[in-house]
Structure 1
Amino acid sequence: MEGDSVTLESDITKIYDEIQFEYDDSIIAEISRAAQNFSTFDVPDGRFRHRLKLDNQTGSLTITNITTQHTGFYHLHIFNSRHTVHKSFVVNVCNVVKYVTVKVGESFTLDTGVTDIQKYGQLLWKFGGNDTLVSKINGTDPVFSTHERFKDRILYHENGSLTIEDTRFEHAGSYRIEMSSSRNTLLKRFSVLVTASTVSDLEHPGSIAAMVFGSVLILTFGCIIYCKISKREWNRIRQRAVQQ
């Protein structure tokens, strides 16, 4: 899960002549017994900066504070005078849902958190349980949804992030982005809660659904919640929303 640490175990009890860890054809850690050198290296997009810890006793490598960007294949090469040992690891990082709260009429941004989108051949933004397509980006050419809900409301950013302007209650719900490369697909999820700016906003037929969605979206995808709200509770919700 994002924020955790993962250790790539070498399964050796002593350091041999040389040890190397690779990610995406880049060396990220290296031990040379002859030179008494223990080094870690970042990659061009900076995803491993201040995250790598190399055990100089066992040769194991720990990645701290992981994100979905660290998903992928890792390779360990252990060299000595007699033979070479190769070992591979597959790291899958589960991301947590990011919650976004916005008032009617305001804008909100769904951030990919990616610094280099060139490595991804395709980015897909989807909305809701029916996977309504919000945008599709192949290379540098974004294609935006023609759905009335998002028409003329989307701003696209260079890192694949989206801003939705002039928010309405109908924009509340679950969003996700799928970032696909030749090696893997990264997934990031968002939950958007839309609240009222004025009392009149609460008369909108979608207002209760939007607020209830955000209030209880610690629910599993596909689960449907039905609620009955008393007149007293309805007035309390209206008052709380206006105060926010």
Structure 2
Amino acid sequence: MATETGSLFGAVTDDEKSVSVNEGESVTLHNDDTELQDTDTIRWRFGEEGSVTLLVEMSGGRITYRDFGDGRFRDRLQILDRQTGSLIIKNIRHKHSGRYEAEIHHAIGTAYKRFNVNVKDAPHVISAEQSDVKSVSVSEGDSVTLNTDVQTHRDALIVWRFGDGGVLLAKGDKEDNKSSIYDDKGMFRDRLKLDDHTGSLIITNTKSTDAGLYKLQISSNRDTKYKTFSVSVRDPGLSAGQVTGIIFGVLLVIAAAIAVVGVIVYRRIKYELQKRKIKVMTVIERDSVTLECDVTKLQSDDVIQWSFRDEVIAAFNKDNKISSVEERLTDRLKVDDQTGSLIIKDIKTEDAGLYKVKISSSSRVKSFLQLITGGGPSYSQFNLIVK
């Protein structure tokens, strides 16, 4: 780092020019007044009066770039052309705000140009026209990740904004290894997260008010990329239990329309009794769960048949001591040879769904449904309905 003191900023020069630029953009400090000759030399410096640092020197057509000891200008500086020696600062940050000076040595004397650069926050409006719009749909209450799907460089500045007003949501500076979440209006209330590695935006427990346009700008010393996401939030609709209840209700109405009064009363009483047998079971992922048959003792000729999503996964014949399990589930399923209950070990989220059991023999036929509904990435909920 080359540091010089005092005299430069005390020299006679043109009026200082003020330049404003948005964080993440590039700015050009123009030296347009004089065309440089091959014998001329131009030096660009940065710093406040009393301590300035040489950034770039161009002499005889040769350009030499220097840098601060902290590397704040690394790979950011570029001479626009050899005719003017104008300086470009790419992917600018707040730390680049300050005074810049060009010292131009001609054969007949020396001239100076000064610039006061003010770096503002990332732009409030990110142009959606510069990128394709990707549609994303999510059920209310679920989480959604807006993926950058681009390789971010170590000097990247990642900015997320929301809505037509360009509300700042999140900003990540890979160069300084810093990320910030902004929610001044409290709209998201601790429901936003920025992935430190990819810059993707995660919204948890989505609400209907989260629907709208999300705009992303990724600036680096190489280029600037834009992405836009149109997020729609769906009504989650009825739960599995509610759907089952509606189906039962419809079946009861149909039965009532075609049956005599005695049958109607019988079916209603039976339905009420069935509802009282509904069990809700919550099991932690990787634990085991037992789906009970609720049979005191199996008869010798009883046949137990368990199915999942209308596919038979386990069968048991007490008389012949036969037990068969679908090959892919052999290590995790077991049928109790005394009760016929189904044991599922090492439970997984994909095990969620509708289970059916049928118990049949020469003297009886009994079947009921056992409904397993997932409760999130780490839990499964089991809602057992006896039919």
- TM bucket normalised to smaller: 0.3 to 0.5
TM-score (norm 1): 0.44
Q: Quick check: which one's strand share is greater?
A: 2
TM-score (norm 2): 0.31
